[in-house]
Structure formats: structure tokens, C-alpha cells
Structure 1
């Protein structure tokens, strides 16, 4: 058996001897994995490919997570019956790990995966969490397996940063693995950590690698069977998700027919599909084993050793637990389990340190299903932003605003059982060890950053709600067009000036444009504080001793109808406002009502609908409030002159956010119409004098309409020089009684009015 990697990378070190046995089958979980015994030369060669993905340092067992010791036991069981076995992965083996591994730089995960015999893995986005240099110089050196990625290049070159492929020989048959990482990598990790790299299109990159592995040039590491290990995946578990027009399905359909199987990850879903293709078997497996070592896959590959043709590829996904029953029990003296226990003991010492007290839960936002809603405002996101603002000011006192990305919050902070916040609990929240970076943004760049919460067109991620520090507030219109959603931003009650500069702090991930917040990445005068986010939380808790959640929303959604006239909303007029983001979504006390004032005067109130959203968004806490613009607003006494006043939205939980609206008031008017004759001979001339007077001597202009009953018989226009009086000669009136009246249509400064009816008898 020979192992070969891309020529520019050394072959991985091996620290395990693979046990070889001749048993024909091994009971695993709920079924039996059949593997071939030693075969005669003319029999098909059988290879077992065992795969996992998105392990994320879950070395401890806790149903449904099997733990590394049980996973190693399952893999060893397959190896023991077939020495032609490969253990491979589709990325994210480390990073976003649980505390036991995280607090020790993921070394317990790397060490135990080495012991489990992992041989090759695609690089996932989380392998780059601490930057390319950390992956290259620390992680890859500690790992006995080979990380591969055909679409990640050293910037400006044609040289891949990692090996593009890895090959394992089984006698006369070789299996080649090609790696790839999601093209979204630059938006998923701190861009500053991968400045030396270019992430290029997956399909072209892996197809090029497939061509090199099959071009007859031994220097390229020739292979007979090709497997794509790709850290990208389907949006759901359906067959359609790997065959439709989605980005991942296009990768599946675009992958060279030389590639016999696709092992995927990234979306944390378990699926097991066979998709038609033009390769040997006619059906290409497209699989994923879910997440966290809850499952693993075993692909049985049959190859004709003479023709090197792939005869079949049969994949099965196995559960590590069925309910609460482990399918691969680990004996107490298992050596890998012993390493896990040592790591747990060390983490317990470091994690048990008390940082301070909390008076209630600090939560991430939730959907109706109970899952995380990264689009919702959260007490936890705002609290972390508060802590980071305080911490940044220790080294950069001019810092004014903090932003926190929701994806950087990996757990809630629960009050139970005793209100004590430990190091481990804080570390579970912020597990990426990002440093805090201060930078300068213009007010308009802050607006752009808030707009980017909706994410650019084509992005795989939906709306992402930034946590913001206390004192910074904004209102947004979720129904507005992209680029115009932000209605108002204030800092300590003062409007953000688009042209002014503001000092902002964000973690190193956000500071370089992570999660597609490019406006933050454009900040100037960047200064790395050297403070790791978790360390800043430790220092903050040492300062405040006890932390209490802030139940006031720091942003709200508001959709207002357009004013009926060009001057704004008229005093006395009524309209509906659609409000959202009025409440939190978990254990926080509910905000049940919302009040609206205009110009400081009550304008409307409504109950709040606290039904949780079913899709990621910031619409929790909704209400439609019918408001009436009150009279007596300061500044509107000068009739017809528009004034800008605050429309203030408040809830009993402390939310109070102002949106500027323009209102105006018109003077009241009175209209009188007097005919020149009350008795008139048929065909005689009748003149109708119209008099319109307005409050406080306001100048009257506009149209007057004279009616005979319901029929309009004459109109006239009042100009300023008419001083509200106009005489109109009426058309000839037929014999009978005519009920004459006049209506004044109003103007920008004067309200409409109508006269009483005057009867005129024509004989």
C-alpha cells in the first residue's frame, strides 16, 4: 500500500498501524457493513471509504454525538475486515469547537483524529479561522492527515496553497482524492487571515486536478478512482437539492465525469444520493454525513483490477446513536477515550473559573421552531457589543460604536442554575479567538454596513443582524428598496452625520469585511487592540461584576405610507404604521404594547403580536398602529409651513426610538355664498358672491365651486389679490327653486370649507 500526495507537498506522517483481518462482515449500528475478504486476482477489488464532515472538535460523546473514541472504534471495525480502507473527511474538522477542544487550540481534536487514523480531508472554511499561516504552520504540522484544496491558490500564482489532491494505492488500483472549499470562504473567515490566498471557482479547479490525475504522467500522481472531497453542500436533504439549478447542484453537474464520487459538507446535513453521470458506474454518489460526528458514511467501492473500471459504489450512512443508545460502545480503558478524559479535565480547570454574575439569561434570537435566528436582534449580541466597546476604549478611548456579527455567538449564556458566569460558558459564546480591531467609518459607511445586513444578491446566507452597543440606535424600513432601508441612525440621541467620521470597534472577522460586511472592511486607521474577544469579556465582567440584560430594542422596523401631499402629513390626518423588531424572542419578559407619539403628543397605540418568525428575519414583535397627527405640535402654528418632528415608538420594556416625519397644519376656513337676487325672472342675470375667510387672516387662494343642488354650475379661482372674495355671473337658470351653495377646495395653507345653501326662486 502506497500513499501519495500532490508532488509539492510531503506525504503525511502516520502514527497508527492499520489492523488487518479477514472477516467478511462487521455488524455496525442498525445494520451490517459487508466487506470483501482477500480476493483472487480475477475478482473485483473492494475498497471501503469511510467519511465524515463538519466534526468541529466534538471529541466528547453526548447523544447524538458519538465522540471521537466511538468514531475511531467504528472506523477500526471496518479496517479490521478490509485493509483496503480509507478514512477521509470533507472539512471543518476543527474550529467552532466545543470548549474542551477550543480552550486547548483544538490540539485534543487533532491528536485524537490522528489516533483514529484520519488520512485526508478537504480544507473547510473553519480550518482558516485563525488564518492561513496557522493552518499551514501549526495545524497541518500537528495533523497526520493531509489537507487538500484544489481551488485555493497562493495569490497571483498558479500554485495551490495546499495539495490539490492525495492518492492512496491498493496494489494495482489507486484512489485519488481531490479537495475543494466553498467559494464563499472570503466572507466566512476573517479576510485579513487569508490575504495571501486566492479562492477560485470550484468546478474549473477540481476538473483540472482530475485531468492531471488521469493524464498518464506519473509525476502528477495518477489515480484510477477519483473522489471529490468538497466543503460545500446542498441546501436541504432532497434529491432536488443536488440536481436543481442551485450553486451546489451546478457543481455536481459540472464536475468532470472522471470524478466517481462526491463527498460533501458545510451545510451540516446528512444525505445519500446517486446522480446520473457519464462515468463508469452511470450513477455518482453525492453524500454528506451531517455534523459533529453524529453519523459517518461507509462507501463500498468495487473496481475491476484488470481494466481499472469502477463497477459499483454503494454508500451507507450510519448513526452513532439510536435514541440514547450508543451503537459503538467504548470500553473504559480505550486509549483515545483516555486522551479525551485528560483534555476534559484540563478544560474543566480552565473553564470553571468564575467571571462574574448574570441576573437573567442572555440569549441569541430564536425562530418558532426553537432554532437560532441570526436575523433577529438579541440580548446576547447587544451585550457582547457593549463589552467590546468598553474593552476597546481601554486602548482607543475615542471608540464610539461596537458591532458584533451573529455568527460569532455560538451559545446562549444561561442564568441557570445559579447566575454564575464561568470562563467555559463565556468561551462557548465566543469560540473563535478573534481580536478586537478599532477603525474609522464615515456615517455613510455605517449606513452601508447596516444595509449589508440584508446580504448581497446571490449570497447563500440570509439576513444577518448585527449586535450594536448601547447608545447607537437606528430605525429601518424592511419593505424599502435595497440601499434605502435605513431611516435614521443616532448616537446618544444625535443624528449620525453621513460625512462625519466615527470610531468603531469590531472583531477581526468583521473588521476585514467578514459575512459580506464590506463597508466595515473599508474602515481606515485600523488598530488591532491585541485583545482577544473572549479576553475582553473576561475583563469586562471583572469590571461590572454583575451583568443584567438590556430589554430595550436598539433598532426597530417601521414602514410608513407616503404622505398624501408634498408637504408631509397633515395635522388631523390618520394613517397606519407597520412596526416590527419590537421584542426579543426567548426568555425575555414580553413587550405587549407599543405607543406612538408625534411631536411629543400621543398619536396611537396597539397590542404587539409576539408570534415568532418561521424564517430568518428581524420581524419579531409586530404591530400595526393607526396614528392621528395631533393638533398643537410646536412649530405648526404658522399655517402651511412644514416642520420636522419626531415620531417616537416606545414599549414598556424600554424601547424608545425616533423617526423624523414632516407635518404641517392648515388654517380653518369659512365659506359664504350670496346670490344677488333671491327672486329672479327667467333669463335674468344672477351674480353669486363667494366669500372665503381663513383663521388668523391667512391669505386665501384656490378654487371655488358653485353648485345648484348636486350639479356644478360654475367655478372660479381666488388669487391673493382677491382677498378671499370673488363674484361669479351664473348661467341662465330655469324656472323653479334653485338651491345654491359654494365649496372652497382649500390650498397648501388653508383647509377646505363649504357654505350654507341659499334658495333662489326663478319665475
Structure 2
């Protein structure tokens, strides 16, 4: 490990690792036979600037990770420390506030050798990556200086030339180990498209196979693919399922590629995938691994290679837990050199981030799935997403904005204030916390969309087939609501959109605001890029929140749902029994209020209260909070009517114009009877 220290000021510090506390699931050392070489690959991914330990999240922190790497290098001297991207970007405040320079410094200090680029390496654009991050630190470039090799074989300039180094080779005695780097080809939809407009992102397998052939020509004996693309779950079956992008990529890889170190989906797995062409070899399965996120785990691969032939004799792998469940501290003690860098970063961040911005009236949470942490779902409506959207609408009112939208991936932490979700509110919120929620520094862009385009935007929440996240629920500002049919075909799901209770027609024009990432079509929301009369507000998303709190004094959760699913509208037939299935009636944050029942009316007639099941979701869609509404449709309600769904406890109220078809008499019913004995408006009982 090289003791490189340069965060803001150089610190004198002793290099070397602290003592090992314990080894979790590491491959035990075995003496290689004469004529064989053992090579260790240590892998991380999706570090996202988590330089400090986090007991709650199980992130070991950079100083402990450094010791883990050092300790395992002592056991296996022939080691490459590698990564699968997203080392920087979407970072915690200590790194974010300093342009991720502390993260660059700690990874340099622990001797990171090589990494694929991830999509977050492009958060500030291609030019920032190659001209700042990848360039040596200097007086002219104080925030750069990554000393590892960044690879991106599938990142091409528009003329087809490589935009980044494609491969890298490390030699150990008679054995050459080659590395390929690739990033998800969805990157243009995951970062601000303007920042990568000069680039094309090739299919990962196509680029990997081309690079593998080049490495073979250069004499590489072992070839490792570092790819910022990952399996959608930790299950083996999902990793090899060719219906998703990752499984399709694995299936298409050349057998010359001996191992895959992956990332992007933040999953921790250690799979062995059979390779048909390896039948009869000493090794018949390819390791496919990922180390989760934030320095929680470390992948370990041990290759034993015959020196004379270059053949791989064996491959062993392990997933090393760096902070075991229930432990009071990380498995590995802190390296003093790296600890000094992180301490300086934390001290500077504390000064910059300690300012109180205002109060929280209650905790603001991201969405979650059952058994998952807050933020484990980007597919459900959240109080935080809606609150941030409302602050951004407020910040752009001067540009005529009526509605604002917020992408869930831009929310990187909950906003809980000093009460941390369990104490008393109101509670102060600091600049550091606000910055941790929105670390990307996107500007806010105003534009005009038609009602038809708004419906298209809402349809785009259902992501393209094969996407690692099938649904992305946009946060929306106050007064904006819509109903949708989750069972309908693509392009036909959105039923009605309202603003302040009034329906938006397809040819209406609505002034909206989004961050610059969405404005350029990020996250596959291509319709935002079609907006006209565009105006960049010049306000950073974080600054919008800071200014909102300064003006309003506080912000808090609005528990009213802005979208509600309604299925079964075809059963609305006069003189028949109708059954409507309602969904998306509940938020998923810890302790957030759920209506025990919703009131439903049709054509002004109260149909009664219907119980809500508020169980947490198990998938990544926005269907939690369900109710079944069954009632007899009176004959007097035939025609166009308004369906209204109200949750008294949360304040939810959405409406939908529906068509009630006429039907014949229903046996056993008085055709004049209405629910609760009421009469539709404008009619008299005969």
C-alpha cells in the first residue's frame, strides 16, 4: 500500500496496516506446487465515497478496508486490487463536499490497481473524468489524481475510437493477468446525457470479447472482466437468466474470459457459472462475483496457474464480510494512514456542514421493500421524493413552473433531522444532511410539456425490458395527481392526470421543472428531452432546498398519495356488481401513516369505506396499499361520472372521470335502489 495523502493538505503519516482482528470467509492460504503461481484478485464495487465506517449500514469505511487489503496481500503477495466502478459519485457528504478528492486519496493510499468506470464516474461528464479525476494532482488540478488505471472498453467516441483505456496487464513471474473494463451500456440514461453526448456506449459483451482477443494476442494467461453491470438479485438463477441484461451478457461472453467481477446493482454474490467450452478442463466454472456496496464486502479470487503452460489449474473464491452482523466494529482494524485522511475529510466537512438550514416537521423517507432498508426501492412513491419536488417547484415559480418531478435515484439518503426519525419533531436539519440527500449538484430546468407528453413521462416510469430497475417512481410536487391501471398494456396505463383537482387534457400546456439530469432524458425519461421553451434556472437542486428552508422555515411529509392505481373499470356497468382493485395507497417509510380504509364515491354517491392492506411490497413496483371496492352499480349512474377516492387520515384524494356502461336489469334487485339510499345529483326519487 502506498501512503499517498493529499486531501487539501499533505499529512505526515506512517504507512502500513493495523493488525487483523478476524478473517471472514477468506480462502485459506495453500502453498502452490512447484511450477505453479498463485494470484489473488481482490474486488470492490459501488464504493460511492463511503470513506467513513457506518455501523448501521455495515460499511467498514476506507481505513478498515485498507487493512483488509493489506492483510490479504500479505497472505497472497501476487495480488491485484481491482474494482468494478462507481467509486466516486453519489458520495456521502465528507467526500461529496470536496469533489470526491478524499475518496481518490484513500483509494490511492490503499493501492487500488485498476477499475472499470461506472456510470457515476460520468456524473460530472466525460471531460471531468478524463481531465480532472484521471489526471495527476497538481496546483492546476488539486481535486484530481487517481493513480489506478480506469478502463472502459465499451466507451467509444462518436467516430468509433476508444474514449478510455480498454485493457491492462499485470505480470507475476511467468504469468500475465489481463483486465478488461466495461460499464453498463445504459449509462447515457443514468447520467446527464449532455455530459456524454460525445460518447457511444457499446454492448458490454461485444467490447469484452474484442478486448479478450486482444489480451490473448498480447499473451495474457488469465483474463478478468471488470464490468459495471450486475445481477438484479443475489440469486444464481437471476444472474444467469438471459431475459435480463446481465444474464444475456454472461451468456454472450467469450470463453477466454476467466472471471467476472461485477457491480452496479449493489448486490453481494459469489457464483460459479459453467462454461460449456471448458468441459474437460481442470476448471469448468467461471466465477461471477460482486461485493455489494459501500465497502461492506470484499470479493477474493485465487487463481492457481501452471507457469509452463499458462493453464489455470484451479480457481477459488470467497465473499469476505468486512463488518459482520451484530459486531461492534469492522472485522479489520483501521489503517492509520488512511484513517488520518478520512479524519481530515470529516473535520472539514463538519465545519462546512454544521449550519442549520431550518426544521423538519417530520421525517422524510425514501421507499423500501419488505425486509429492506430505506431506499431499497426506487419504484414506490416516497414522502422525500414528493417533498423535494415541491421545493423545486417553489424554487422555479418565477419561471412559471406549475409542477416539478424528482427522480428517485437522485435521493441518496433520508432526511430525518437531528431527531433521526425516532425523536421529537420539529427537528433541525443541517446543510450536511441536505447535501447527503442530493449530492449531484444538478441545475433545475423549466420547460413546457403538453398533457399528452405528461402522460408519456408517467408511462416511462415503467422502464425498458431488461433494465436492472423495472420501475422508477417520480416524486411529484403538491397539487399534481394521477390515476393509472397497473394491468393495462404499455402506453395505456395512465388514466387521468389532474392539477389542483382539475383534469389535464392532452392538448393542455403545463410548465414543469426537473433537474438537468432528467431534462436531458436521464433514467430513460426521453420525453423530458422534448420539452419546449426551456430555461435553465441556474439554481442547483441542493441550493433550491437550502433556499426553500430559509424562506419557509420548515419542510415535512405530506402523506397524501399523488398516484393511485385503479383496475377493473370495465366492470362499471349499471345494474351489475362492479369490483375495482385499488393500489398505491400507502407510503413505505418507517412509521408512516397508512389509511385504515378509503372512502369511495361515484357520481356523487357514497359507495362506503373499504379496508386498506398496508403491507410492505416485496417487488419494485408502486402497488403497496391495496383495497378491493365491490358494489352494485345503480342504473341511475349510467354515463360519464366522477370516481373519487379519499383517505381521511392521510389526506389522499384522487379523482377519475369514468364511463359507466348501461346494462340490463339484474335479477333480485330493485332497479331504483342506490347505495345508502342516496340519489345522484340532479335526480329526484320517483
Would the TM-score normalized by the shorter structure come out above 0.5? Answer: yes
- Deviation of 1:45 after TM superposition, in Å, equals 2.3
- Deviation of 1:664 after TM superposition, in Å, equals 8.5
Which aligned pairs between 1:382-397 and structure 2 lie closer than 5 A?
382-394=386-398, 396=399
Q: Secondary structure at the match of 1:384?
A: helix
**Where does residue 273 of structure 1 map in the other structure?**
271
**Where does residue 675 of structure 2 map in the other structure?**
none
Structure-2 change in CA distance of 1:400 and 1:118 (3 Å): same
Q: Does residue 1:305 correspond to 2:307, yes or no?
A: yes
371-380 vs 344-353, greater mean Cα deviation: 371-380
Distance 1:170 1:209 in 2: 21
Question: TM-score, normalised on structure 1?
Answer: 0.77
The answer as to whether partners of 2:643 and 2:657 remain within 8 angstroms in 1 is: yes
Q: Secondary structure at the match of 2:412?
A: coil
Distance 1:456 1:664 in 2: 35
- Deviation of 1:16 after TM superposition, in Å, equals 13
Give a deviation string over 1:172-227, Cα, whole Å, max 9, x none: 432111111112222222222211110111111111111112225xxxxx423211
Distance 1:164 1:80 in 2: 29
The answer as to whether partners of 1:387 and 1:536 remain within 8 angstroms in 2 is: yes
Which aligned pairs between 1:458-473 and structure 2 lie closer than 5 A?
458-473=466-481
Q: 1:377 aligns with which of 365, 375, 381?
A: 381
Q: 1:508 aligns with which of 496, 508, 516?
A: 516
Structure-2 change in CA distance of 1:168 and 1:608 (3 Å): same
Q: Secondary structure at the match of 2:99?
A: coil
Q: 1:62 aligns with which of 31, 37, 54?
A: 54
Distance 2:263 2:552 in 1: 42
Q: Does residue 1:117 correspond to 2:111, yes or no?
A: yes
**Where does residue 251 of structure 1 map in the other structure?**
249
- Deviation of 1:627 after TM superposition, in Å, equals 4.0
Q: Specify every segment of 5 or more residues in structure 1 that has no aligned partner in the other structure, as ranges.
A: 1-14, 21-25, 217-221, 634-641, 669-694, 696-763
**Where does residue 621 of structure 1 map in the other structure?**
625
- Deviation of 1:48 after TM superposition, in Å, equals 2.2
Which aligned pairs between 1:67-216 and structure 2 lie closer than 5 A?
67-141=61-135, 142-155=145-158, 157-215=159-217
Give a deviation string over 1:69-124, Cα, whole Å, max 9, x none: 12112222233455432111111111222221122211111111001110110111
- Deviation of 1:608 after TM superposition, in Å, equals 2.0
Q: Secondary structure at the match of 2:460?
A: helix
**Where does residue 684 of structure 1 map in the other structure?**
none
- Deviation of 1:654 after TM superposition, in Å, equals 1.8
Q: Does residue 1:580 correspond to 2:580, yes or no?
A: no
Structure-2 change in CA distance of 1:241 and 1:485 (3 Å): closer
- Deviation of 1:544 after TM superposition, in Å, equals 0.5
Q: Does residue 1:235 correspond to 2:232, yes or no?
A: yes
The answer as to whether partners of 2:405 and 2:475 remain within 8 angstroms in 1 is: yes
Q: Secondary structure at the match of 1:497?
A: coil
**Where does residue 761 of structure 1 map in the other structure?**
none
The answer as to whether partners of 1:381 and 1:409 remain within 8 angstroms in 2 is: yes
The answer as to whether partners of 1:52 and 1:295 remain within 8 angstroms in 2 is: yes
Structure-2 change in CA distance of 1:19 and 1:190 (3 Å): same
Distance 2:358 2:189 in 1: 34
- Deviation of 1:292 after TM superposition, in Å, equals 1.3
Structure-2 change in CA distance of 1:600 and 1:439 (3 Å): same
Distance 1:93 1:49 in 2: 17
Structure-2 change in CA distance of 1:456 and 1:299 (3 Å): closer
Q: Does residue 1:530 correspond to 2:538, yes or no?
A: yes
Q: 1:480 aligns with which of 485, 488, 492?
A: 488
Q: Does residue 1:52 correspond to 2:44, yes or no?
A: yes
Structure-2 change in CA distance of 1:542 and 1:257 (3 Å): same
Distance 2:614 2:453 in 1: 32
The answer as to whether partners of 2:471 and 2:620 remain within 8 angstroms in 1 is: yes
Structure-2 change in CA distance of 1:646 and 1:149 (3 Å): same
- Deviation of 1:233 after TM superposition, in Å, equals 1.8
Which aligned pairs between 1:528-567 and structure 2 lie closer than 5 A?
528-562=536-570
Q: Give the CA RMSD over aligned residues.
A: 2.9
Q: Secondary structure at the match of 2:347?
A: helix
Distance 2:377 2:319 in 1: 29
Q: Secondary structure at the match of 1:433?
A: coil
Structure-2 change in CA distance of 1:293 and 1:497 (3 Å): same
Q: 1:409 aligns with which of 399, 411, 428?
A: 411
Distance 2:521 2:355 in 1: 34
275-284 vs 180-189, greater mean Cα deviation: 275-284
**Where does residue 668 of structure 2 map in the other structure?**
none
Q: Specify every segment of 5 or more residues in structure 2 that has no aligned partner in the other structure, as ranges.
A: 1-11, 136-144, 666-671, 673-686
Structure-2 change in CA distance of 1:175 and 1:377 (3 Å): same
- Deviation of 1:340 after TM superposition, in Å, equals 0.4
Give a deviation string over 1:254-312, Cα, whole Å, max 9, x none: 22222222111122222223333335643322222222111212322222233333322
Q: Does residue 1:604 correspond to 2:608, yes or no?
A: yes
**Where does residue 351 of structure 1 map in the other structure?**
353
The answer as to whether partners of 2:265 and 2:468 remain within 8 angstroms in 1 is: no
Distance 1:665 1:229 in 2: 62
Give a deviation string over 1:527-575, Cα, whole Å, max 9, x none: 22222111111011111102232222222112244267xxxx54x6652
Give a deviation string over 1:392-438, Cα, whole Å, max 9, x none: 224x2x11211111122222222524511111221222122222111
Distance 2:42 2:52 in 1: 20
659-668 vs 597-606, greater mean Cα deviation: 659-668
Which aligned pairs between 1:711-726 and structure 2 lie closer than 5 A?
none
The answer as to whether partners of 1:356 and 1:542 remain within 8 angstroms in 2 is: yes
**Where does residue 644 of structure 1 map in the other structure?**
640
Structure-2 change in CA distance of 1:282 and 1:328 (3 Å): same
Distance 2:664 2:303 in 1: 87
Q: Secondary structure at the match of 2:433?
A: helix
- Deviation of 1:666 after TM superposition, in Å, equals 11
Structure-2 change in CA distance of 1:342 and 1:27 (3 Å): closer
Structure-2 change in CA distance of 1:441 and 1:580 (3 Å): same
Structure-2 change in CA distance of 1:36 and 1:616 (3 Å): closer
**Where does residue 439 of structure 2 map in the other structure?**
431
Q: Secondary structure at the match of 1:162?
A: coil
The answer as to whether partners of 1:376 and 1:465 remain within 8 angstroms in 2 is: yes
- Deviation of 1:479 after TM superposition, in Å, equals 1.9
- Deviation of 1:46 after TM superposition, in Å, equals 2.5
Structure-2 change in CA distance of 1:49 and 1:368 (3 Å): closer
The answer as to whether partners of 2:262 and 2:289 remain within 8 angstroms in 1 is: yes
**Where does residue 29 of structure 1 map in the other structure?**
23
The answer as to whether partners of 2:224 and 2:261 remain within 8 angstroms in 1 is: yes
Structure-2 change in CA distance of 1:18 and 1:353 (3 Å): closer
- Deviation of 1:667 after TM superposition, in Å, equals 14
Q: Secondary structure at the match of 2:217?
A: coil
Larger Rg: 1
607-616 vs 349-358, greater mean Cα deviation: 607-616
Decide which structure has greater strand share. 1
The answer as to whether partners of 2:15 and 2:337 remain within 8 angstroms in 1 is: no
Which aligned pairs between 1:318-357 and structure 2 lie closer than 5 A?
318-322=320-324, 323-324=326-327, 325-330=329-334, 334-357=336-359
The answer as to whether partners of 1:35 and 1:46 remain within 8 angstroms in 2 is: no
